[in-house]
A and B are shown apart, each in its own frame.
Chain A
Amino acid sequence: MRFVRTAAFIFRPSILAAMVIAISPSTHPLAPIIDRLEQGGALLPDTPENVVEVVGILKSYGVVLGAYERNLNYIAEHQFLVLFPFFKYFDGEVTLRKLLKHWWHDRINYEFAEYCMKAMFWHGAHGLDIYLDSAEFRQRAGAAIQAKLRSNLVMGSLNRLLPEFLLEQVRMLCYYSALGQFWNVMSRMFLSLSDRYDCGEIQTIADVVDHVREGLVAAAANPITYAVTIAGQVYEIIPKSVGLTFLMDTAVPYVEAVFFRSFPFFGTVSYNAQAHQISPEQADFNYGALFADPLPIGGAGIPPTLLMQDMLHYIPPYLEAVYMKGARGQDDMRVKICLSFQKSMFCVTTAAMQGLAPYPFSTTDPEQQRANRAYLEQWMDRFLTSRLMQVN
């Protein structure tokens, strides 16, 4: 199933008061979840433990996302067509100390951000892809490529020989930038969620969902642009006039690519490729965050583990205390982080579902309720093999 993309796409606030459902109960296998959503609830049950886990993990995620987005934007803007970007993770600050830290691996795993970017690039973002295949993009990117290669005869010749090669690199850099801009908003949103929690304003899972949804609404129309400076001249590769916006051209494709599809990494799910357990159909990919197996099977270093390792550094004390009460204490911290992270992503997904619904869940019109029911059942079909039941 594809995300529902209505022309009059509007995020609507949820109505949490008890709703009257005029139509008969759903017979879907995940009917209890549908019922909860129709009543204004979330995919994740509202318990004090879940609130602590979700807010705590999103605080840590916010810090990590901040680092990721700064690096993605740095690569897009300052590593433009640097074909051997040895220091792309250094954000322009190359020192021996930083190099040693990089080699020691006690650092932010920027590779994870690139995996997410590549997942988006691979699975595609509808509006962005249309533009990247347009003549305007070819002309704008071509100008930037020419400017970059002006004094480089070898690369200039190569570009004439293989004219699509550098163009494809620029397309990828557009995705670097787009994801960087998306995460910039999300990072600030999650950190402000944590601040509001610390002030006592966030007390339920519904509060978390509302906060995320309102954050998405606020940024929905933010333009997505991309420009690089070469020899003092600015080259606009994605100008504002193209009309790419935050919500439809980054947030929605991101959820599709990273939450749902992703790649079949070991540790994300357990599979046996030789037994053809990996579908060759890209549309069948269900390896995203909502499907990830939190128990890695010996795949240390694979992307989900990298993110958990990064978040481990920024876990707030109250969440760490919860984790330390577990049977294995410090030993399985990354698994616990993964479990909490999945819970938090179900909250983010709830916010997206509420916003994308054809009608507000508070509607009393049976026809609108039926339309919402069909919409929710389509979502639930996708969740059947996800970790939804495990977090419930």
Chain B
Amino acid sequence: MLSILVWAPILGALLISCLPQAIGAQRARQIALWIAGIVLLWTAYLASQFDLSTASLQFQETLPWIESLELSYQMGVDGLSMPLVIISSLLSWLAIFSSDRQINRPRLYYALLLVLSGAVAGAFLAQNLLLFFLFYEVELIPLYLMIAIWGGALRGYAAMKFLIYTAVSGALILAAFFGLALLSSSLTFDYDVLQNQTLPLATQVILLTTLLIGFGIKIPIVPLHTWLPDAHVQAPTPVSVLLAGVLLKLGTYGMLRFGLGLFPEAWKVAAPVIAAFAVISVLYGSFAAIAQTDMKKIVAYSSVGHMGYILLAAAAATPLSLVGAIAQMVSHGLISALLFLLVGVVYAKTGTRDINVLRGLLSPERGLPLIGSLMIVGAMASAGIPGMMGFIAEFIVYRSSFEVFPVQTLLCMVGTGLTAVYFLVLINKAFFGRLPDNLANLPQVRWRDRIPSVIVTVLIIFLGIQPSWIMRWSETTSIALVRNRLERNVTLTVAVPMPLELSLQPDLTLLPTLPDLQG
């Protein structure tokens, strides 16, 4: 069942590639939209069949592949990956929909988008470390090509930088996986087997550090972030949407799945350091965003900052903070996708993203009033205004992390305030005031330009009002991740201990009371 999410897009990409050029150029977009739509519907069906009461992997598929390498085709989904798969399917469809209809080399473009979509889904679903690595690496190829071919003026530089950084990331992750498999003497890459490894703490710390640097590049954590603003600025809008909305989440997902999941003892040791880097990322990202004049760079640095919240929640590693981390992944995925979509429309219509050039875009007749209004909604959501998804995620992150890392949490909360600063600067400069005469004849904004942003905005508001629709996927899994640490007889001084009997009947309503259990 899960393989459809991976192979349907890849087969679709093959189909588009094999079409004759004359037909393919016209039909590539429709085919890609249909396939992404089918994948989205299939994801919705899987979500409807997902058992919320169990933390174990569901819809599992296992096929032996290269046994000599211990590489098996193991797929499964749990509460950690399900929300991300949903977001990935949704944003893939929206990315295809929001792509320029007149794009050059459409067959290659849409084929690469589908490959990217399949590879990301594969990475989220893989339950074999090597299989994860394969998908993690495969995803680099279409992304590199899309930035290099359809990017902005400095696309070559940005694409190469992205490739080098993420290739190093992949190498470090592979090294950590090999190290784990070899040192644990199990000689397997199966996740469920490796979960029970009993390596010495020092070895675990070394492996976890390697893994964290690898995933830290992908997230990205400051100071490993420098590839991201360049990649975002040069990438076409749909790629930025996928990059911020989904691909960065591979880093945080990998960190939780493989870092916290495989090295729980070492995690306890590394947690304060991770929390410190979270603070650095949040504050650096926010201050850097304030200093930018390119709208895309502002959103890109905003991403660096907001990914820091996930890092903070992951470091705290309490059941509630893990729910918060996953919620923040979804929230950031939607909000950053919205902001990049909107910046894309602004750029397509005005030809610039410079907030010192843009002005008065909220002008009701000749500006971009709906796009501007949605930008304000996006900024509010990003700044954690109640009633939207951003508030729910950030509130849970802060509420849960404060018990464990109070100082770091307070410093991260400053980042939320700074979010309001840089987005208000952006909105004030680009959208308020009188539309200058050189922008008074902008091309018409059609509904097809607005639809992707409207869909995402509706979701952001809906999930802000009804957050349990996104929280419920991850409650059980989050508790199980923490329980795994307890069962391994770890004395938790960092994370919040949780009685096993509570974890057997997971209920989010219990979670806010968890800190009380400490007393």
Q: Could you say which of B360, B441, B442, B444 contacts A297, with CB atoms under 8 Å apart?
A: B360
What 8 additional pairs, Cβ within 8 angstroms, besides A295-B366, A296-B364, A328-B444? A295-B440, A298-B363, A298-B364, A300-B364, A327-B443, A328-B443, A329-B444, A331-B445
Q: For A299, give the chain B residue with the smallest CB separation.
A: B364
Shortest CB-to-CB span from B434 to chain A, Å, is: 4
Shortest CB-to-CB span from B366 to chain A, Å, is: 5
> Is B364 a contact of A328 with CB atoms below 8 Å?
no
> Is B366 a contact of A293 with CB atoms below 8 Å?
no
Q: For B445, give the chain A residue with the smallest CB separation.
A: A331
Q: A296-B365, A300-B364 are in contact. Are A331 and B444 (CB under 8 A)?
A: yes
Chain B 363-392: CB-based contact to A (< 8 A → 1; otherwise 0): 111100000000000000000000000000
Could you list which residues of chain B lie within 8 angstroms of chain A, going by C-beta atoms? 360, 362-366, 432-435, 440-445
Is A159 part of the contact surface with B, judged by Cβ < 8 Å?
Answer: no
Q: Using Cβ atoms and an 8 Å threshold, which residues of chain B touch A300?
A: 364
Q: Could you say which of A270, A298, A329 contacts B362, with CB atoms under 8 Å apart?
A: A298
Is A335 part of the contact surface with B, judged by Cβ < 8 Å?
Answer: yes
Q: Using Cβ atoms and an 8 Å threshold, which residues of chain A touch B360?
A: 295, 297
Shortest CB-to-CB span from B443 to chain A, Å, is: 6
Is A334 part of the contact surface with B, judged by Cβ < 8 Å?
Answer: yes
Interface members, chain A 311-355 (any B CB < 8 Å)? 326-329, 331-335
Interface members, chain A 260-308 (any B CB < 8 Å)? 270, 293, 295-298, 300
> Is A295 a contact of B365 with CB atoms below 8 Å?
yes
Shortest CB-to-CB span from B99 to chain A, Å, is: 23
> Is B444 a contact of A296 with CB atoms below 8 Å?
no
Q: Using Cβ atoms and an 8 Å threshold, which residues of chain B touch A298?
A: 362-364, 432
Q: For A271, give the chain B residue with the smallest CB separation.
A: B434
> Is A327 a contact of B444 with CB atoms below 8 Å?
yes
Shortest CB-to-CB span from A265 to chain B, Å, is: 14
Q: A295-B440, A327-B443 are in contact. Are A332 and B434 (CB under 8 A)?
A: no
The 9 A-B pairs of least Cβ separation, nearest first, read A270-B434, A332-B365, A335-B365, A328-B444, A332-B366, A297-B434, A295-B435, A327-B441, A298-B362
Q: How far is the CA of A293 from the CA of B360 in the complex (A)?
A: 13
> Is A270 a contact of B365 with CB atoms below 8 Å?
no
Q: Using Cβ atoms and an 8 Å threshold, which residues of chain B touch A332?
A: 365-366
Q: Using Cβ atoms and an 8 Å threshold, which residues of chain B touch A329?
A: 444
> Is A293 a contact of B434 with CB atoms below 8 Å?
yes
Q: How far is the CA of A293 from the CA of B363 in the complex (A)?
A: 12
> Is A295 a contact of B363 with CB atoms below 8 Å?
yes
Q: For A293, give the chain B residue with the smallest CB separation.
A: B434
Q: Using Cβ atoms and an 8 Å threshold, which residues of chain A touch B435?
A: 295, 297
> Is B362 a contact of A335 with CB atoms below 8 Å?
no
Give the tally of cross-chain contacts (CB within 8 A). 46
Q: How far is the CA of A293 from the CA of B436 in the complex (A)?
A: 12
Q: Using Cβ atoms and an 8 Å threshold, which residues of chain A touch B440?
A: 295
Q: Using Cβ atoms and an 8 Å threshold, which residues of chain B touch A328?
A: 365-366, 441-444
Shortest CB-to-CB span from A98 to chain B, Å, is: 28
Q: How far is the CA of A306 from the CA of B378 in the complex (A)?
A: 31
**What are 14 A-B contacts defined by CB distance under 8 Å?**
A270-B433, A295-B434, A297-B362, A297-B363, A297-B433, A297-B434, A298-B362, A298-B363, A298-B432, A327-B443, A328-B443, A331-B365, A332-B366, A335-B366
Q: How far is the CA of A180 from the CA of B365 in the complex (A)?
A: 31
> Is B433 a contact of A334 with CB atoms below 8 Å?
no
Q: For B360, give the chain A residue with the smallest CB separation.
A: A297
Shortest CB-to-CB span from A185 to chain B, Å, is: 32
Shortest CB-to-CB span from A90 to chain B, Å, is: 29
**Of listed A293, A327, A332, A333, residue having the most chain B CB within 10 A:** A332
Q: How far is the CA of A133 from the CA of B488 in the complex (A)?
A: 96
Q: For A308, give the chain B residue with the smallest CB separation.
A: B365
Q: Using Cβ atoms and an 8 Å threshold, which residues of chain A touch B363?
A: 295-298
Q: For A333, give the chain B residue with the smallest CB separation.
A: B365
Q: How far is the CA of A243 from the CA of B174 in the complex (A)?
A: 99
Q: How far is the CA of A328 from the CA of B366 in the complex (A)?
A: 8
Q: A296-B365, A298-B364 are in contact. Are A327 and B434 (CB under 8 A)?
A: no
**Of listed B360, B434, B445, residue having the most chain A CB within 10 A:** B434
Q: Using Cβ atoms and an 8 Å threshold, which residues of chain B touch A334?
A: 365
Shortest CB-to-CB span from A193 to chain B, Å, is: 27
Shortest CB-to-CB span from B364 to chain A, Å, is: 5
Q: How far is the CA of A329 from the CA of B443 in the complex (A)?
A: 9
**Of listed B365, B440, B441, B442, residue having the most chain A CB within 10 A:** B365
Shortest CB-to-CB span from A388 to chain B, Å, is: 16
Q: How far is the CA of A136 from the CA of B360 in the complex (A)?
A: 53
Q: How far is the CA of A334 from the CA of B365 in the complex (A)?
A: 7
Q: How far is the CA of A326 from the CA of B441 in the complex (A)?
A: 9
Q: How far is the CA of A80 from the CA of B363 in the complex (A)?
A: 40
Q: How far is the CA of A306 from the CA of B40 in the complex (A)?
A: 45
Q: Using Cβ atoms and an 8 Å threshold, which residues of chain B touch A326?
A: 441
Q: Using Cβ atoms and an 8 Å threshold, which residues of chain B touch A331?
A: 365-366, 444-445
Q: How far is the CA of A206 from the CA of B218 in the complex (A)?
A: 70
Q: Using Cβ atoms and an 8 Å threshold, which residues of chain A touch B365?
A: 295-296, 328, 331-335
Q: Using Cβ atoms and an 8 Å threshold, which residues of chain B touch A293?
A: 434
Q: How far is the CA of A293 from the CA of B443 in the complex (A)?
A: 20
Q: How far is the CA of A3 from the CA of B362 in the complex (A)?
A: 38
Shortest CB-to-CB span from A272 to chain B, Å, is: 10
Q: How far is the CA of A327 from the CA of B443 in the complex (A)?
A: 6
Q: For A328, give the chain B residue with the smallest CB separation.
A: B444
Q: How far is the CA of A298 from the CA of B365 in the complex (A)?
A: 9
Q: How far is the CA of A146 from the CA of B458 in the complex (A)?
A: 60
Q: How far is the CA of A36 from the CA of B442 in the complex (A)?
A: 34
Q: Using Cβ atoms and an 8 Å threshold, which residues of chain B touch A333?
A: 365
Q: For A300, give the chain B residue with the smallest CB separation.
A: B364
